[in-house]
Amino acid sequence: MPTLLDGKLVRDAILNELRPRVAKLAAEKRPPGLVAVLVGNNPASEIYVRNKVKACEEIGMVSTRQMPTTDVSTEELLFLIQSLNQRPDVDGILVQLPLPGQVNEREILLAVDPLKDVDGFHPMNSGNLMANHAGFRPCTPAGVMRLFEHYQIPIAGKHVVVVGRSDIVGKPMALLLLHANATVTICHSKTADLAGECRRADILVAAIGRPAMITTDFVKPGAVVIDVGINRLRERRQVESIFHGSQAKLAAFDKGNNVLVGDVHPDVFPLTEAYTPVPGGVGPLTIAMLMSNTVQSAEWRLGV
């Protein structure tokens, strides 16, 4: 029987570890502070940022939002970032992506102080990851590593295939696994015989952003499958096809006009040794690791 890798369970364990550290900071100095910069009125981004703020408050951190209007210029946003860089009560700066087209996204991300870059996207933190030096790790890959640790899934000597090469998930995931002594293959949309490469994996990490793309042809029996993808199905026929007419899924679609599915087809899960569900797998860990990075930043900055 495959093991369901419960991200909510691991998230709660991480937050329970952070609470006494936050309390110590608050008693001796001040609570950790996170500022989320959210441009415009993207409903999905608003929900995501609201969840992050709520998670901060639940463990005693201070979290605020800066919400420039959609027509903000690069210069105006740079001024805001620089002001947050200089504030002593701010330990973490989160710039919610994507930014509007008129804003130079690269310039904004480069402007964030690397010591407050709790998303782990700044080139300085990318370099620290490459060299395996101390620094902030991107939250989703770091969360996957905590999942492996919690469930005592061995990594050293295993062949891991990462499907996806983004700077946010795929590349840092591969580096973290290399540092843990895995043999890593990175695949992407241009990989020849993608299914064949994936079938070689002892551990398969799917982060390609295509709903239910990883089918049973991609997975060898007994593999561990980590599904990083979060895709919304907005057509009823898609839900019916992927979930084989599941009445529960169809009812959920009819109620909310969408259903979540990962990059891994549900038919894969019975073949695995262990797998992450969507939702409830990797997603909760991303926010938990953002909290962890912010607490770490506060400890470094305050000397506690």
Please give the angle made by the CA atoms of 51, 287 and 300, to the nearest 5 degrees. Answer: 120
Which residue do the tokens 């620089």 mark?
Answer: 82
- 159 token code pair: 């062949």
Q: Any catalytic annotation for residue 119?
A: yes
Residues in the chain: 304
Q: Among the options 91, 117, 119, 227, which is catalytic?
A: 119
Burial 181-190 (b: 16+ CB within 10 A, else e): ebebbbbeee
Q: Measured at the alpha carbon of residue 13, what is the angle toward residues 18 and 43, in degrees to the nearest 5?
A: 80
Q: Identify the active-site residue in 91, 96, 116, 158.
A: 96
Q: Which residues of 90-101 are buried (b: 16+ CB within 10 A; e: fewer)?
A: bbbbbbbeebbe
Spatial separation of the C-alpha atoms in residues 206 and 227, rounded to whole Å: 5
Specify whether 193 is catalytic.
no
Count CA atoms within 13 Å of residue 134 on its CB side.
Answer: 5
From 52, 158, 171, 249, active-site residue: 52
Strands 274-275 and 259-261: unpaired
Residues involved in catalysis:
52, 96, 119
